[in-house]
Structure 1
Amino acid sequence: MPELVSSVLLLFSLLMVKHMFADFYLQTPKMLSGRCQYWHMGRAMHAGVHVVGSIIVFLIMGAPLAFIAVLVTLEWIVHFNIDFGKASYSEKKALNPSQGAFWRAVGLDQCLHNLTYVAMTWAWINYAA
Structure 2
Amino acid sequence: MGTLPAQLPTTWLCVAVVLFIVKHLVADFYLQSSWMALGKERVEGWRAPLAAHAAIHALGTLLLCVALAPALFWLAALDFVVHAAVDRGKGVLARRASATPSTAVYWRLLGLDQSLHALTHFVFALALTAAHAAA
Give the TM-score of the pair, scaled to structure 1. 0.87
Map of 2:63 onto structure 1: 56
User: How far is the alpha carbon of 1:127 from its aligned partner?
Assistant: 3.5
CA contact (8 A) 1:67 1:128 kept: no
State the partner residue of 2:112: 108
Q: Give, in whole Å, the separation in 2 of the partners of 1:126 and 1:3.
A: 7
Residues 70-129 of structure 1 show CA distances to partners (whole Å, capped at 9, x for unaligned) of 111111100000000100011111111111111100000000001101211222233454
2:44 maps to 1:43? no
Percent identity, aligned pairs only, is: 34
**Residue 55 to residue 88, structure 1, CA distance change in 2 (3 Å):** same
User: Matches of residues 1-129 of structure 1 in structure 2 within 5 Å?
Assistant: 4-34=9-39, 35-37=41-43, 40-61=47-68, 63-64=69-70, 66-68=71-73, 70-129=74-133
Output the CA distance in 2 between the equivalents of 1:96 and 1:23: 19
Q: What are the ranges of 5 or more consecutive residues in structure 2 without an aligned counterpart? A: 1-6
Give the drift of 1:37. Answer: 4.0
Q: CA–CA distance in 2 between the matches of 1:75 and 1:14?
A: 15
Q: Once superposed, what is the RMSD of the aligned Cα atoms?
A: 2.0
CA positional deviation for 1:4? 1.5
**Partners of 1:22 and 1:50 within 8 A in 2:** yes
Letter aligned with residue 14 of structure 1: L
In structure 2, distance between residues paired with 1:21 and 1:72: 16
The count of residues paired between Structure 1 and Structure 2 equals 125
Question: Scaled by the length of structure 2, what TM-score is found?
Answer: 0.83
Q: Quick check: 2:65–2:72 contact (8 Å CA) kept in 1?
A: no
